Amino acid sequence: MTKAEIKSTDILIIGTGIAGLVAAIEASKHYNVTLITKTILKESNTYYAQGGIAAAISKQDSPKKHYEDTLNAGHGHCNKKAVELLTKNASKAIQHLLNNGVQFNQKNNELHLSKEGAHQEARILNDKDRTGKSIIHALLQKIRSIKNISIKENTFTHSLIVDKNGCHGAVLISNNAPLICHASHTILATGGSGQIFKYTSNPEIATGDGLALAKKAGCTLTDCEFIQFHPTTFPLNNSTSVFLLSETLRGEGATLINQDNIPIMDSIHPLRSLAPRDIVSKEVYRQLSLNQNIFLDCRSIPHIQETFPNIFQTLKKNNIDLQTSPCPITPAAHYFMGGVKTNLHGKTNIDHLYAIGEVACTGVHGANRLASNSLLEGVVFALNTISDIRNKTSPSHTLPKHIPLPDKQTKQQLSQTFKNNIQEIMWKNCGIIREKNQVINAQKELNTLIKQTHTNTCNIFDLECHNLLMVGSEICKAILKRPISLGSHQIRRNAT
C-alpha cells in the first residue's frame, strides 16, 4: 500500500500566479503559508500577460465608469456586487502591488495609462508589453524574503482532502510520490484551462486542474460555457502554437484589415477595431471561415519597437516587421470566465476551501471579460479572501482516517496524440461558433475518452489529460443547459 509523508500548515495556497502570490504575501502576515506550484514558480498565465492591469486612477476617470465598462462588456451577465467591489478596490490593489515592488511605466513622473478595447478611458497600467513578467518577478522577490512562506515547486495537486467538516488540505505529488498537506484553509489559485483547446494563448500548465479538483471534491462550478477567445494571436511556425498580440496594440492605433487593406470592423461596431473582444473575435472568425485573410496592421504605431519590445522581437524572429507589414492573425482560446463558484470572499460551498483568480467565478466578468480586468481580479479577490480567513477562528480539524493515495508505481499510459484529440474535439465543437448536435457528439466522445483515463497514478501527464476531459465535459454540459448565444460565443442552429 502507498504511504505518504504528512506536512502541516495554516494555509495551503495552490498556484503561483498573481492570485496565489498576492494571497501568500497577505496571509503570511498572520499565518504559516505553504505555497505550491506544479512546475517552476514563474510558469503561469500571469507571467505571459502583456497588456496590463486596469484601474480607474486618472482625474477624468472613476470607478463608476470602470464599473459601467465591465458590465457592458459582460453582456448583462455580471454579478454587479462583484464588479462594484473590483472597480472600487482597483486603486488599492495597484497600491498593494507598488508597495510590494511592482513597477509600472511612468510618464512625467506619473503612472502612464494606456487604452484598451471597450474601456471609456485610458486606465491600463503596464510595464511595456511584459507586465505579467514584471509582476511575477517583483512578487517572487518579495515572497522569497518572507520566512513563514514555504515554497514547493514541481508539486502537483492530485486531490483535495474533504469530509463532512470541509476541506483539510490536499494530496500532492512531489518527486513522483504522494505527500499529504494538512491545512486549516486551502486556497485554489490554479488559473485557467486554455489547454483544452487546440489553439490557445495559455501555456502548457493551463489544464484546468483546479476546476477538476473542485468538481471532484463537491464544489459547484458555474458559467463554464463562457470562454473568451482572443481575436488577435499570431500562428507560430505552422503549428498549433500561437503568440498573443496584446489589445494595447489596438489601443495605440493598430487596426484589423483584410488582404485588400480594408478595415473589417468599421461597419460592425462604433468602436471599430477597439470593440469588445467577443465582437472582434466573432468577426475575425467569420471572415476567416469565408477564406479571407485577416491582419493586424500596426504600421501607424509610433516607436513600436520601444513600446512593445517583446511583441516586436518575437514577430521579427518570425520574419514579420511590424513597422512595415501587417501581421496575419487568428483567434485563440484565452480566458475562462466561469469557474468554481465563490462568494465575494473567495469562499466555495465547501468549508475552508477557497478559490481565487481565473479558476474562480464570482460572476465579475459575466459572459465576456473586459480587457485587463483579470490581473486586477487576482489582486482584489486574493486580498478579500485573506481578510475573510482572518475574521474566522481557524478550525482544529483532524485529517480523515482514510485518504486515498495515488500509486507511485503506475507508468504513463496516455500519449500526446490522446491530448491532441481532446483539444481538436473541443476546438471543432465548443469554440466560438457552436451547434447543439455537435456539442452532444463532443460530449459523447469526451465520455468515451475519459473511460481510458485513471487517477490512481502519480503520472502528471495522465492526470492532466483526465482533468482536461472533466473540464471539457463541464463545458459541454453548460452549453447544453443554456443553449443561447451570449457574450463570447454564438449558438448556430443545427444544419439540416
Q: Could you list the residues that contact ligand FAD (CB under 6 A)? A: 14-20, 36-39, 43-46, 48-53, 131-132, 156-157, 189-192, 201-202, 205, 209-210, 244, 335, 357-358, 372-375, 378
Measured from the CB atom, the residue of 249 and 304 that comes closer to ligand FAD is 249
The CA distance from 259 to 316, in Å, is 20
Distance in Å, CB of 424 to ligand FAD, minimum: 20
Measured from the CB atom, the residue of 34 and 443 that comes closer to ligand FAD is 34
Helix axis angle, 416-429 to 436-450, nearest 10°: 160
Distance in Å, CB of 259 to ligand FAD, minimum: 26
Measured from the CB atom, the residue of 14 and 85 that comes closer to ligand FAD is 14
Measured from the CB atom, the residue of 20 and 166 that comes closer to ligand FAD is 20
Measured from the CB atom, the residue of 114 and 273 that comes closer to ligand FAD is 114
- Chain-centroid distance of CA 270 in Å reads 28
φ, ψ for residue 350, nearest 5 deg: -110, 130
Measured from the CB atom, the residue of 58 and 494 that comes closer to ligand FAD is 58
Distance in Å, CB of 378 to ligand FAD, minimum: 5
Q: Phi/psi zone of residue 346: left (φ > 0), alpha (ψ -120 to 50 degrees), beta? A: left
The CA distance from 419 to 426, in Å, is 11
φ, ψ for residue 363, nearest 5 deg: 90, 10
Distance in Å, CB of 363 to ligand FAD, minimum: 16
Measured from the CB atom, the residue of 125 and 432 that comes closer to ligand FAD is 125
Active site residue 130: no
Distance in Å, CB of 231 to ligand FAD, minimum: 13
Distance in Å, CB of 390 to ligand FAD, minimum: 21
The CA distance from 242 to 244, in Å, is 7
C-alpha cell at 301: 504605431
Number of other residues whose CB lies within 10 A of the CB of residue 186: 30
Report which of 118, 141, 138, 140 is spatially closest to residue 127, judged by C-alpha positions.
138
Report which of 435, 417, 424 is spatially closest to residue 489, judged by C-alpha positions.
435
Measured from the CB atom, the residue of 243 and 443 that comes closer to ligand FAD is 243
Distance in Å, CB of 438 to ligand FAD, minimum: 26
Distance in Å, CB of 414 to ligand FAD, minimum: 16
317 Cβ contact partners less than 8 Å away, ≥ 6 residues apart: none
Say which of 123, 130, 250, 277 is annotated catalytic: 277
- The residue at minimum Cβ distance from ligand FAD is 17
Catalytically annotated residues: 277
